[in-house]
Structure 1
Amino acid sequence: MDRPTLAERIQARLADFLPQIPAQDLEVMQETTRRLMAQGLAQQAVQPGDRAPDFTLPTPDGRHLSLTDLRRAGPVVLDFYRGAWCPYCNLELRALDEILPEIRARGAELVAIAPNLPGKTAAFLQENPFGFDFLCDVDNRVARRYGLVFTLPEALVAIYRRFGFDLEAFDGNDRHELPMPATYVVAPNGIVFDGFVHENYLRRMEPAAILEALDRLADRPDVA
């Protein structure tokens, strides 16, 4: 039986969630997305063909991983997500975990990156184990270099707080900044081979598209 697509899973979760959202709150959420799209933020982020900015980030258990070291072993899939509090990010992370054996069968590795504090990420992973590494990009230092960061309007911060999403507790600051969800397939030479960034957090790169990109990359020895 075929897996449902990530888009289908997100739409199913959204259908459950929408009736719980007051109309005025929904308008604030949608208007925020419209403004981000009008600013063209996704087009200003790192794109395929660009060199992926290098970084070293900690895991929740105190190890440090660098992009340079990761890509020495092969292609790297970088998944920037908003945080453990985001239900749509959690759907994406589960979908990625399902294809992890297929990613590794192609000689690639996957890491997930969010601005959550190490303790918050560790608590999330305690309840939701995954087979790949999570990296703690506190203060969005790496996401900023990838051009992904934006500031939430105060009205939306208040809405999230009412939903129980305390960004200050998760991220350890009061900046109310988030990364746009983004997925990058980075070739061993450090060039972004493929990727997906969108201002609408409901839109994500499909797992099947990641595998297809890795297959195309395998046929390109010139970017190894």
Structure 2
Amino acid sequence: MSCDVANAKDEFQRHILMAYDNVDKLLRLEEKVDKIKMMPDKVDEAKNLRLEHISLQRTIDEQIKNGLMKRNVIIDEYKRRKNNTCGHIGKTPNVECAKCSETKLSAELFSSKEPKKWISSITPKNEFTILIFYRGTWCGNCAIYLREVDHCLVQLRQLGAEVYAICSQSQVYVDEMKEDTKVGFELISDPKNALGKKFDIKITNKNGNSFKVMSRIIKSALGGTDNYDPHHEDGIVQPAVVILKDEEVMYKWVTPASINVGYGMFERMTPSSIVDIIRFHSVNEVSSNICKTLNMRKQSIE
């Protein structure tokens, strides 16, 4: 990572976390206004609180705007570094990759299958299957993270792994994220959070405080200040990484759902760590197969 990108990431995170902190204050302020707005002796106090609310909302909007500017700088730089190859083993130059076509088709079939059946249909085709759970188009760090995973895609595919990214937004927004990030792996719409529930990933309930905070962040990012609702039918899945081997969970990482990391926007499993885990298990599996072969040869000689 270049110094410029690292600085931009630090600035992006700083602006967004300040916005999260201020949204939390904004919600508490609204609760206070609701309690006193009907009290005749509290008219002036309610008026002052509303003015404070307007000022705080403007601050939040400005922090989100500044954060998104840094986010766009990072995404543009990552796009500039994009891999020129898909990374699939056996890919013929200047010919459409059959494995890419197969992976795209498998992603499109997700909506027509139960999660368990879908997992059963894709895992035999890969040595390892990596599921990246992300929050949505409104999450600036999700776009950055998907680009960082894409930067490691060739390494992962050369190790026999395939990557799918899952979000609870509807398909139109998933397509929008794919177009925005230009990643080489497939993105899947899972509005009912079926995969999140299957792998016991934390899901932010729409009636909970963290969803209320995120909804204000989202709406501000989209240019409004009303409550946000329609993009997630069944709550927001927490950012996570699940690595499968023959349908079995080989490794799982779930981002902490605390406000100091933006309810999961920051503090994620690094893509390089994903590569290291795949490489570790890949090497050990090869070693194990070599040992089995040597033992078989030894037994046949004896």
Aligned residue identity for 1:169: P
Greater Rg, structure 1 or structure 2?
A: 2
**Which consecutive residues of structure 1, in runs of 5 or more, have no partner in the other structure?**
30-58
User: 1:213 corresponds to which residue?
Assistant: 277
State how far apart, in whole Å, the 2-side matches of 1:178 and 1:216 are: 32
- Once the two structures are TM-superposed, the CA of residue 10 in structure 1 deviates from its matched residue by 5.0
RMSD between aligned residues? 3.2
CA deviations 1:86-143 (Å, max 9, x no partner) are 1111111010011111110111100000001011111232333210011111121221
User: Which structure dedicates a bigger proportion of its chain to helix?
Assistant: 2
1:140-219 → structure 2 map (5 Å cutoff):
140-148=193-201, 149-151=203-205, 152-153=208-209, 155-164=212-221, 168-171=229-232, 173=233, 175=234, 177-187=235-245, 189-200=246-257, 201=264, 202-219=266-283
Q: 91, 109, 115: which is aligned to 1:64?
A: 109
Deviations 1:32-68 (A, max 9, x none): xxxxxxxxxxxxxxxxxxxxxxxxxxx7998214222
> Is 2:152 aligned against 1:99?
yes
| 2:185 alignment counterpart | 132
Q: d(CA) in 2 for partners of 1:197 and 1:11?
A: 22
- SS of residue paired to 2:229: helix
**What are the ranges of 5 or more consecutive residues in structure 2 without an aligned counterpart?**
28-103, 111-117, 258-263, 290-302
Code of the aligned partner of 1:82: R
Alignment partners' CA distance in 2, 1:179 and 1:9: 26
Q: What's the TM-score, normalizing by structure 1?
A: 0.70
C-alpha change, 1:63 and 1:161, in structure 2 (3 Å) is: closer
Stretch deviating more after TM superposition (194-203 or 91-100): 194-203
- Is the CA contact (8 Å cut-off) linking 1:83 and 1:116 kept in structure 2? yes
Residue 216 of structure 1, CA deviation: 1.2
Q: Deviations over 1:145-201 (max 9, x none)?
A: 222213142642552354245753323x3x5x11111101111x2222222112241
How has the CA–CA distance of structure 1 residues 220 and 132 changed in structure 2, closer, same or farther, with 3 Å as cutoff?
same
Q: Are the counterparts in 2 of residues 7 and 206 from structure 1 also a CA contact under 8 Å?
A: no
Mapped to 2, the partners of 1:25 and 1:157 lie a distance apart of 9
1:8-33 deviation per Cα after TM superposition (whole angstroms, max 9, x unaligned): 875442124345x285425589xxxx
* Structure 1 residues 128 and 72: CA distance shift in structure 2, 3 A: same
The residue aligned with 1:41 is none
Check whether the contact 1:96–1:207 (CA below 8 A) recurs between aligned residues. yes
Letter in 2 for 1:72: P
Q: Matched residue of 1:170: which SS?
A: coil
Any idea what SS the aligned residue of 1:116 has? coil
CA contact under 8 A between 1:106 and 1:215: conserved in structure 2?
Answer: yes
**How many equivalent residue pairs?**
187
Which residue identity does 1:63 align to in structure 2?
Answer: E
Superposition misfits of 4+ residues, deviation over 4 angstroms: 6-10, 26-29, 59-62
Relative to structure 1, is the Cα distance of residues 142 and 25 closer, same or farther in structure 2, using a 3 angstrom cutoff? same
Partners in 1 of 2:122 and 2:151 — Cα distance?
A: 21
3-state SS, counterpart of residue 251 of structure 2: strand
Change (3 A) 1:110 1:124: same
What is the aligned-residue identity percentage?
Answer: 17
